[in-house]
């Protein structure tokens, strides 16, 4: 430790001159005690940039007479010694830095090489062996194109790197033949070094093996091609299925309606012209046949409607759902003006949707509300929207017959009914149509109900990116 020593004093002040009795001044200095010093002159050693390097001392066991001469001599030595020490420090730092760079060069996972002005490799790291199979020492002194094997292309010649018009080479992918003949793709980046006169000194080039990436990209392209082919095939299959569905719809619409019309017509003629020849039971049978034929016609219409909404093109736009609600409600009111039922509709009800398909949604939901509130003297129906978890949710609520939530899973199934047909008319296809329309918009629909207290249908209409 230098605390309370003459050397510490010199370091602090830069100069220390004690011609006699120096031990008295620094009694705790072990060096002075060991040398039985009487006199002491010390100078701090400074580097070129003012950094402290140490101290230079002159210690004598007798009092010092020529203090000035000793000081002058020490100053000369201190200047020279400071310069030598600083150079030694710089050399040590440069040696450490070179060792560090050599270590990086040796163990870097990419090819790093230096090419002279003649296009010859003057230095290259060991990574070249892992990539190409060539030994680094075998490539020293060889043309740069030697890295690429015997089939070096024109792009690999030395002019590519030594072109004075091209100081920097960026992300150039070149195919290399490894020692065992396997092609490898290397991506090269290179920089030229010039002297003070602008003449080329050498080029430092770095090559990264991107063969795995190239292979992966090739596989992705192949998979994309296969996917496009599959999409084309599935599209053709879908178009064929749509064509068959259209043919089926046409058949249902025309071929099945004809016998139904005959059944209904002949039943009507029998009742009208031959009722007197039939007893009450026979007349009842004919009426039942007629009603069944009519119901069959309604079922066919509903099936065609379900098929139509599945095939109809989706044309979304900004629209006001309140206008659709008012239109559907006006038709219901015109058909049964005697009903005491109140509609409360939020206005406006903006949405991005297909107005034609949403009109079908409100036609069915409001017809349901109208139907299942028929037994109430004064009924109420509410249409509006609310926000749930950041999503706009639209709803249609009534205070009618409601339903048991235990059977809610059957609610949107085709021809599924939770009420007896004798109590409430219908085919059970309306809510299936509604669900299909909402799903085509990318939304979801659900319902909540309580028996004899009413029901509420909720649905969402996300943006067009999720539409089907």
Domains and CATH numbers, the chain: 6-104 (3.30.450.40), 108-209 (3.30.450.20), 219-311 (1.10.287), 314-466 (3.30.565.10)
Highest mean pLDDT among 318-322, 357-361, 433-437: 318-322
- pLDDT over 70 (residue 465): no
Q: Contact at 8 Å (CB) between 401 and 452?
A: yes
pLDDT-based confidence at 307, cuts 50/70/90? low
% of the chain residues with pLDDT over 70: 82
Model pTM?
Answer: 0.46
CA distances from 136 to 44, 123, 139 (A): 50, 8, 5
Distance CA 395, CA 460 (A): 9
Angle between helices 211-251 and 280-311 (to 10 degrees): 150
Minimum mean pLDDT among 131-135, 137-141, 246-250: which range? Answer: 246-250
DSSP state of 143: B
Closest CA to 17 of 43, 56, 35: 43
Write down the pLDDT at residue 164: 60
Write down the pLDDT at residue 26: 85
**Residues contacting 292, CB < 8 A, separation 6+:** none
Q: Please classify residue 405 by burial: count the beta carbons closer than 10 Å to its beta carbon, then call 0-12 exposed, 13-18 middle and 19+ buried.
A: middle
Higher pLDDT: 322 or 264? It is: 322
Write down the pLDDT at residue 392: 92
pLDDT-based confidence at 466, cuts 50/70/90? very low
**Residues contacting 393, CB < 8 A, separation 6+:** 385, 386, 387, 458, 459, 460
Closest CA to 353 of 443, 445, 458, 447: 443
Q: Contact at 8 Å (CB) between 202 and 238?
A: no
Higher pLDDT: 145 or 351? It is: 351
Higher pLDDT: 159 or 94? It is: 94
Distance CA 99, CA 400 (A): 88
Write down the pLDDT at residue 21: 82
Mean pLDDT to the nearest integer, 274-287: 84
């Amino acid at each position: 430790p230098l605390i309370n020593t003459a050397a510490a004093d010199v370091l602090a002040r830069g100069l220390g001159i004690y011609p006699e009795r120096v031990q008295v001044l620094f009694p705790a200095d072990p060096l002075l005690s060991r040398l039985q010093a009487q006199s002491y002159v010390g100078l701090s050693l400074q580097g070129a940039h003012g950094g402290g390097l140490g101290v230079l001392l002159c210690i004598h066991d007798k009092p010092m007479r020529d203090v000035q001469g000793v000081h002058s001599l020490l100053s000369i030595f201190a200047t020279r010694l400071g310069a030598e020490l600083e150079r030694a420090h710089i050399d040590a730092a440069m040696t450490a830095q070179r060792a560090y760079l050599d270590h990086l060069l040796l163990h870097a996972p990419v090819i790093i090489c230096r090419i002279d002005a003649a296009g010859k490799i003057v230095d290259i790291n060991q990574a070249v062996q892992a990539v190409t199979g060539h030994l680094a020492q075998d490539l020293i002194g060889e043309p740069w194109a030697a890295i690429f094997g015997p089939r070096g292309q024109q792009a690999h010649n030395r002019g590519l790197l030594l072109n004075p018009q091209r100081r920097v080479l960026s992300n150039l992918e070149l195919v290399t033949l490894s020692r065992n003949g396997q092609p490898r793709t290397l991506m090269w980046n290179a920089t030229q070094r010039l002297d003070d006169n602008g003449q080329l000194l050498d080029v430092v080039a770095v090559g990264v093996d991107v063969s795995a990436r190239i292979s992966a990209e090739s596989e992705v392209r192949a998979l994309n091609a296969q996917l496009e082919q599959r999409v084309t095939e599935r599209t053709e299959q879908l178009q064929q299925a749509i064509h068959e569905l259209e043919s089926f719809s046409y058949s249902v619409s025309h071929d099945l309606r004809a016998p139904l019309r005959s059944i209904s017509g002949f039943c009507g003629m029998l009742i009208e012209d031959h009722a007197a020849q039939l007893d009450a039971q026979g007349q009842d049978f004919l009426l039942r046949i007629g009603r069944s034929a009519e119901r069959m016609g309604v079922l066919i219409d509903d099936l065609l409607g379900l098929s139509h909404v599945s095939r109809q093109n989706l044309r979304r736009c900004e629209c006001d759902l309140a206008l659709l609600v008012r239109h559907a409600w006006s038709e219901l009111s015109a058909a049964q003006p005697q009903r005491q039922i109140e509609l409360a509709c939020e206005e406006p009800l903006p949405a991005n949707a297909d107005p034609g398909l949403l009109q079908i949604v409100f036609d069915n939901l409001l017809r349901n509300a109208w139907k299942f509130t028929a037994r109430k003297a004064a009924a109420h129906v509410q249409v509006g929207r609310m926000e749930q978890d950041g999503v706009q949710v639209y709803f249609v609520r009534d205070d009618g017959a409601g339903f048991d939530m235990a059977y809610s899973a059957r609610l949107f199934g085709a021809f599924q009914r939770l009420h007896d047909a004798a109590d409430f008319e219908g085919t059970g296809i309306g809510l299936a149509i509604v669900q299909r329309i909402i799903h085509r918009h990318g939304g979801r629909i659900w319902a909540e109900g309580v028996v004899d207290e009413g029901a509420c249908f909720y649905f969402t209409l996300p943006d067009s990116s999720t539409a089907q």
